[in-house]
Amino acid sequence: HFMSYFDIVFIIAVCCVELFFFLSSHFLEEILEVLYKQKVMTPTRGETVKLSCEANYDLEKCGLVQVVWRHITKNADLTNPNKYLTTVNETQLDDNMRRRQVVTEILNLTIEDSGDFQCEAKCENGNSAMGHLITITVKSPAATLKTLMSINICMYVFFYTLDCVYIRNVYE
């Protein structure tokens, strides 16, 4: 049983499409990639956390690159200088490859800062890459035993003083 001409053309077409997608994805990885570990963070309200990512890119193929941390839950870039402090460091790896490290600190965390964060890099030519999600859950500071005891003592003294004043006023 021989294969028909159309069967051969179909097989060649499928192979060409698969090869195209393989080469395309490999080519894009060489132009731009975002690297950092996925993690879950549970800082306390008022603290500062650092988000750090590296974007490796081909300067010749990518052109100018923009790398920014995003609050995915709020669909917002972390660019407000009153809330975020961002440091950028760039090094040359070889002829055309560069590594841009972007560290964004979220200052004075609030409960509203909780959510998913992601580093995104965009080339001038339209290519883009994103890293893993980082989940931040901001927790309230735990009340210490000493604080709770102080509150109870103050309440006791307050009520005791009111009772004493009330009794004195009645008998005077």
Q: What is the CATH number of the domain that holds 84?
A: 2.60.40.10
Q: Which tens digits make up the pLDDT trace of 22-31? A: 544 444 457 9
Start-to-end C-alpha separation, the chain: 120
Q: What's the whole-number mean pLDDT along residues 5-21?
A: 58
Secondary structure letter of residue 112 according to DSSP: G
Q: With bands split at pLDDT 50, 70 and 90, how would you rate the model's confidence at 70?
A: very high
Inside any domain, residue 164: no
Residue numbers of the domain that contains 130: 32-136
Give the rounded distance of the alpha carbon of 72 from its chain centre. Answer: 8
- Quick one: DSSP state of residue 63? -
Number of domains in the chain: 1
Instruction: DSSP letter for 4, please.
Output: P
- Please give the structure tokens belonging to residue 139: 């927790």
pTM > 0.85: no
Residues 6+ apart with CB under 8 A from 73: 114, 115, 116
Residue 38 falls inside a structural domain: yes
Condensed to tens digits (0 to 9), the pLDDT of residues 102-159 reads 999 999 999 999 999 999 999 999 999 999 999 999 999 875 555 556 665 555 555 5
